[in-house]
Amino acid sequence: MKTLTMKLAMAATASFLAMSAGAWAGEVVWWTPNFNEARARELVEKFQAANPDVTVKLEITTTDGLPQRILTSLQSGAAPDVIDVQHGWVNGYAQNNLVLPVDDVLTDREDYIPAALEYNTWDGKLWGIPYRIETHAVIINKGDYTAAGLDPDNPPTTWTAFKDAAKKLTTNGKSGFAITGGGEVGNTIFRSLPFMWMLGGGIISDDGKQVLVNSPESIEAVTFYTDFLKEGISPTSTLENDGTANRRLFIAETVSMYQSGQFDIQSIRKENPNIDIGVIPVPHPDDGKTAAILGGWSFVIPSDAKNPDDAKKLLGFLAKSENQAVLTDTFPARISAMEAERFNDPILQVFKEMLPFGRPVPAHPNWVQISQAYFDGIQRILLGDEDVKTAMDGAADEIEGLL
């Protein structure tokens, strides 16, 4: 009886292991952000029709807290097979052996924006496949401009003129220009770091060896950014607001201007078609040039992916020009995908004009933690707990230990 029981137990165990293995074989788990969900499901259906032996399980992520969630999953060995990540995170993953190289998937590099590939390259290998690129511009309510005696066809270009215009637009309970101070860290990095670059500052140097966050140039730029709240130009809810919140305030016509990407245009048109939308370049110092972060998203395959072979098959499909044109709601990383009709909308022109001013964030393995330290300093300023120099000195001390 004991022998029979042992045989039955061994058989049951073998059956369980076979079932577990079968759950991995042919299944790809893909984490993609909620703003991609509808388009991702469309492409998954198309992929599975062409690859009936592979099942793609979509798990939808949200941007709030996403950097830490992904990092935790990569470090724990419990990661999915494919993850959408911001370009700036890829290098750190690669340097910490958390993702697999994908040189064998991307075979037509000449059709990609070079800067997008640079983001994902380390030690001579490609560690992510870029599919989306973007820079910010300033979205304006042209009707508000006219009502304030401003010319929307001749918008302000310098910091001084821009702040003057924002003050004129701040009237009757309406805020002239909304900055971000809450939500996912990247919201504030994308909107404030370019102002630091315009003056020659930054959070850290491009080579990742020097802390710049408390340099005189950076302090001047952070002061310019945070003063929009301190001077009553940005909404009182700024400390909690991320990019989505600012878009909603703009749609509600309680904000006249805010920084964002072209991905907001469709929502504004749909939710408040009465707004006459304008787009202007991000303003620059009186004697300088504008700047922007060249942002966007890439696909990575974790080192502990359970099904890397089928994951690469999915990435090869998603990297096709026609599929990149579908998935992205900004600009595709592939040059040929830019030819799709949807990218010819005239309102996208200024966003295109900002692309040459786009720069990558510094490639450092601790960039996620470095940017968090800076963001925490910004929050202390916006709360009124510390002045700009004290907050940036504190951030510098923390960042110094992360270099």
pLDDT for 9 beyond 60: no
Give me the pLDDT at residue 25, please: 64
CB-CB contact of 57 with 81 (8 Å): no
Based on the fold, state whether residues 185 and 270 are members of the same structural domain: yes
Average pLDDT of the segment spanning 134-138: 94
Average pLDDT of the segment spanning 84-93: 91
Based on the fold, state whether residues 25 and 156 are members of the same structural domain: no
pLDDT for 10 beyond 70: no
Q: Do the domain assignments include residue 5?
A: no
Give me the pLDDT at residue 1, please: 42
Based on the fold, state whether residues 88 and 108 are members of the same structural domain: yes
Give me the pLDDT at residue 20, please: 33
Based on the fold, state whether residues 174 and 189 are members of the same structural domain: yes
Give me the pLDDT at residue 19, please: 34
Based on the fold, state whether residues 321 and 386 are members of the same structural domain: no
Task: Report the alpha-carbon distance of residue 227 to residue 183 in Å, rounded.
Answer: 19
Confidence of residue 368 (pLDDT cuts 50, 70, 90): confident
pLDDT for 24 beyond 60: no
Q: Do the domain assignments include residue 97?
A: yes
Q: Do the domain assignments include residue 28?
A: yes
Based on the fold, state whether residues 374 and 233 are members of the same structural domain: yes
Based on the fold, state whether residues 289 and 302 are members of the same structural domain: no
Q: Do the domain assignments include residue 1?
A: no
Alpha carbon of residue 32 to chain centroid = 13
Based on the fold, state whether residues 107 and 156 are members of the same structural domain: no
Task: Report the alpha-carbon distance of residue 188 to residue 395 in Å, rounded.
Answer: 15
pLDDT for 382 beyond 50: yes
Q: Do the domain assignments include residue 9?
A: no
Beta bridge partners of 126: 121
pLDDT for 99 beyond 90: yes
pLDDT for 88 beyond 90: no
Average pLDDT of the segment spanning 29-57: 96
Confidence of residue 107 (pLDDT cuts 50, 70, 90): confident
Kindly list the strands in the beta sheet with 27-33, ordered across the sheet, starting from the edge strand earlier in the chain. Answer: 55-61, 27-33, 82-86, 295-300, 129-134, 331-332
User: Worst-scoring range by mean pLDDT, 119-128, 270-279, 354-363?
Assistant: 354-363
Q: Do the domain assignments include residue 206?
A: yes
Give me the pLDDT at residue 6, please: 40
Torsion angle defined by CA atoms of residues 194, 111, 312 and 326, in that order, rounded to the nearest 10 degrees: 70
Provide the domain limits for residue 92: 16-134+296-352
Using one digit for the tens of pLDDT, what is the confidence trace for 154-174? 999 999 999 999 999 999 999
Number of domains observed in the structure of the chain: 2
Based on the fold, state whether residues 157 and 188 are members of the same structural domain: yes
Q: Where are the beta strands (DSSP E) in 91-238?
A: 121-122, 125-126, 129-134, 137-141
Give me the pLDDT at residue 13, please: 35
Using one digit for the tens of pLDDT, what is the confidence trace for 309-331? 999 999 999 999 999 999 987 89
Based on the fold, state whether residues 118 and 143 are members of the same structural domain: no
CA-nearest of 108, 167, 177 to 141 is 177
Based on the fold, state whether residues 373 and 251 are members of the same structural domain: yes
Domain holding 268: CATH number? 3.40.190.10
Confidence of residue 116 (pLDDT cuts 50, 70, 90): confident
Give me the pLDDT at residue 5, please: 40
Give me the pLDDT at residue 249, please: 98
Give me the pLDDT at residue 295, please: 86
CB-CB contact of 194 with 259 (8 Å): no
Q: What is the mean pLDDT of the chain?
A: 91
Alpha helices in 261-403 (DSSP H): 265-271, 308-318, 321-327, 349-354, 367-383, 388-400
Find the helix packing angle between 216-230 and 159-169, rounded to 10°. Answer: 10
Give me the pLDDT at residue 15, please: 37
Torsion angle defined by CA atoms of residues 50, 112, 295 and 253, in that order, rounded to the nearest 10 degrees: -70
DSSP label of 123: T
Torsion angle defined by CA atoms of residues 314, 367, 187 and 296, in that order, rounded to the nearest 10 degrees: -30
Q: Do the domain assignments include residue 329?
A: yes
Give me the pLDDT at residue 21, please: 33
Give me the pLDDT at residue 181, please: 94
Give me the pLDDT at residue 369, please: 92
Q: Do the domain assignments include residue 339?
A: yes
End-to-end CA distance of the chain: 64
CA-nearest of 47, 69, 51, 48 to 59 is 69
Based on the fold, state whether residues 286 and 306 are members of the same structural domain: no
Using one digit for the tens of pLDDT, what is the confidence trace for 221-278? 999 999 999 999 999 999 999 999 999 999 999 999 999 999 899 999 999 999 999 9
Maximum distance among all alpha carbons in the chain? Answer: 94
Proportion of the chain above pLDDT 70, given as a percent: 94
